[in-house]
Amino acid sequence: MNDNILKLTIPKGSLQAVVTSFFERAGLKLNFASSRDYRPSIGDPEVYIKLLRPQEIPTYLIGEDEFDLGISGIDWVKETNADVEVILNLEIGGVRIVFCVPTTWDNINSLDDVLKKFNDDNKVLRISTEYLTLSLDYIKKNKTYIKLYGEKAPLVITPWKTWGENKKVKIFLSFGATEAKPPEEVDAIIDNTETGSTLRANNLKIVEVLDYSTAVLIANKNALKDEWKREKIKDLKVLLMGVIEASKKLHIFMNVHEDNINDILEKLPALKRPTISKLAGENAEGWYAINTIIKKEEFLSLIPILRKYAQGLVVHEPRQILPFEKI
């Protein structure tokens, strides 16, 4: 690869379809040679793309010869403690990081309840998770845990390493299908969920939410020191920002008689100022066309005003609104 190539890694798995759709709306259609292709093209010879698991992506954005740019969940950035630059929250792929126990535990509604019950019963609490860092931090900061075990860290068990002093609370590294582990292999889990349906299907209930996560665009700090790569990253950022901006806006067109223009303008919010142009034609005397961008959340409240003063209304959902002034 020559110097004028930006190396981008995007997530394989549950986030892949969401990111692929997002990129397509940004005009960056990913072309896969087959369903097993890990290196799609994007129609831009200056961008090299490879799919990796989102858990791995933050750590591959550290170093001189690694990837320059990537997309992963902010949860995995925190979990890996990766020294990367968060460029943009894409506001997609939203999940909660949750602590779950079996639904049959009627009187258990918090981590405190679980810790007290297992301590009173003199039983070892077993927890399965892919989030070792987040889970350790969450458990060690719990007031009941501190009261029972002080500063002793839970015992963390992975295939290659075991550490921690407190054998009364064990955290097992999960390699997937975490929701299927209770009640045989473990007693509780810490996992991510979008809707909670998979947890419910496996007879689990959420008792606490540790954190929230969305997909983020992250950059290798070394890449940002390179002028060409830094500018190329800005180009990609503005395209992706355009999708985010457009998802929150509507483009509306209407015809308004000159007698009603001031009433409309007083009440009509706009991204900048509305565009007003005089209609042409023999029967268009005194009529003007107005088009503007509004927030989606404002649309319903505008209907009574538009119905009163405008003649007809055309509504478009823009594909992109490129915020050049923000870059």
Q: Which CATH code, of 3.40.50.720, 3.40.190.10, 3.30.930.10, 3.40.50.300, is assigned to 96-213?
A: 3.40.190.10
- Is pTM beyond 0.85? Reply is yes
Identify whether the C-beta of residue 182 lies closer than 8 Å to the C-beta of residue 102: yes
Of 18-22, 33-37, 239-243, 266-270, the poorest mean pLDDT is in: 266-270
Query: Side chain identity at 277, as an amino acid letter?
Result: S
Residue pLDDT, tens place only, 53-83: 999 999 999 988 889 999 999 999 999 999 9
Portions of the chain given CATH number 3.30.70.120:
249-326
Mean pLDDT, residues 160-174 taken together: 97
| pLDDT over 90, % of the chain | 74
As a whole number of angstroms, the distance between CA 262 and CA 175 comes to: 62
Closest CA to 128 of 156, 162, 147: 156
Q: Is the pLDDT of residue 264 over 90?
A: no
Mean pLDDT, residues 237-255 taken together: 93
Residue pLDDT, tens place only, 17-42: 999 999 999 999 999 888 888 999 99
CATH 3.10.50.40 fits 249-326, yes or no: no
Portions of the chain given CATH number 3.40.190.10:
6-92+214-246, 96-213
Which residues face 157 on adjacent strands? 162, 172
* Domain 6-92+214-246 homologous superfamily, CATH: Periplasmic binding protein-like II (3.40.190.10)
What's the length of the chain?
327
Q: Is the pLDDT of residue 2 over 70?
A: no
Q: In degrees to the nearest 10, what's the CA dihedral of 162, 165, 169, 174?
A: -20
- Which residues have CB under 8 Å from 152's CB, separation 6+? 164, 165, 166
Of 96-100, 245-249, 310-314, the poorest mean pLDDT is in: 310-314
As a whole number of angstroms, the distance between CA 268 and CA 284 comes to: 23
Residue pLDDT, tens place only, 271-323: 567 888 998 887 778 899 999 888 999 899 889 988 888 888 899 988 888 87
As a whole number of angstroms, the distance between CA 171 and CA 44 comes to: 44
Q: Is the pLDDT of residue 1 over 50?
A: no
Q: Is the pLDDT of residue 245 over 80?
A: yes
The pLDDT assigned to 280 comes to 85
